[in-house]
Structure 1
Amino acid sequence: MLPKEIELDFGSVYIHENILIAKLNEGILFDVESNQKLLELGSQIFKDENYGYISHRVNSYAVDPMVYFESANKFNLKAIAVVSENEITRRNAEEVEKKFYRNSNCFKVFQTLEEAVEWIKTRI
């Protein structure tokens, strides 16, 4: 059975079907090294099965957009969603971060977690 919640030094990851949902800690810099840990976790849990990733941004933190270059190379990571109630966070993800992800059709921003989960399911 898959673990439901995994604690990492930079936040928590929740497993929901074939989706990793991350709630990262306030004030961190989510960089390439942190992203590598999430990608390794995805490989361990899902093996070669397709999966999606949701960044549930309940806390404020910085994202190094270079993480999307590495993520785009994972053949079984089929979609990335960003969820935030904060309009500025959503706009930044849509206007800046999305440009760094190779397949912009597989990167989408949402206001609610439920919307993001339903969209990810259509991509995997």
Structure 2
Amino acid sequence: MFTKEFDLDFGKISIYQNILIARLNEGVLFDVASNRKLLEIGKEIFKDEDYGYISYRLNSYAVDPMVYFESASVSNLKAIAVVSDNEMTRRNADEVERKFYKNSSDFEVFTELNLAISWIQAKI
């Protein structure tokens, strides 16, 4: 059950238990500045509690992989998942974006949102 939603200039953010789920708008560049907004929401909502992040990629957009360096410094952000039904998007996340995150075992790619939610809950 979603408990809170945020409409940002680059997409919608939903809070689901201990998970922040982002559905970004078509064609945006998700850069470090946008990521800082997400991290601030995570800090505000979860405080010092462990949480996970899901990038629910329903739309096509670009991701600056540098966002993962900053995300890696958040001690209570325990796992990141990418969900997409697009094979190229999944492959790019798995082969490129994963390399930029602190621990590749805390970064996973899925075809279905419910699988990503279950994985993150198990990681936390």
Shift of 1:100: 0.3
CA–CA distance in structure 2, aligned partners of residues 47 and 3 of structure 1: 16
Give the structure 2 partner of residue 55 of structure 1: 55
Gaps of 5+ in 2: none
Structure 1 consecutive aligned stretches of length 4 or more whose deviation exceeds 3 Å? none
Deviations 1:18-53 (A, max 9, x none): 000000000000000000000000000000000000
> Taking structure 1 as the reference length, what is the TM-score of the superposition?
0.97
Give the structure 1 partner of residue 90 of structure 2: 90
Answering whether residue 6 of structure 2 is matched by residue 6 of structure 1, we say: yes
| Structure 1 counterpart SS, 2:65 | coil
CA–CA distance in structure 2, aligned partners of residues 74 and 4 of structure 1: 21
| Structure 2 counterpart SS, 1:5 | strand
> Taking structure 2 as the reference length, what is the TM-score of the superposition?
0.97
CA–CA distance in structure 1, aligned partners of residues 55 and 95 of structure 2: 16
Percent of residue pairs bearing the same amino acid type: 68
Answering whether residue 98 of structure 2 is matched by residue 67 of structure 1, we say: no
Following superposition of structure 1 onto structure 2, how do residues 1-124 of structure 1 map, counting pairs within 5 Å? 3-124=3-124
CA–CA distance in structure 2, aligned partners of residues 3 and 21 of structure 1: 11
CA–CA distance in structure 2, aligned partners of residues 15 and 100 of structure 1: 24
Q: Which amino acid aligns with 2:42?
A: G
CA–CA distance in structure 1, aligned partners of residues 55 and 61 of structure 2: 11
Shift of 1:5: 1.1
Question: Are 2:3 and 2:17, in contact at CA under 8 Å, matched by a contact in 1?
Answer: no
Gaps of 5+ in 1: none
Shift of 1:3: 4.8
Question: Are 2:27 and 2:60, in contact at CA under 8 Å, matched by a contact in 1?
Answer: yes
Q: Which amino acid aligns with 1:76?
A: N
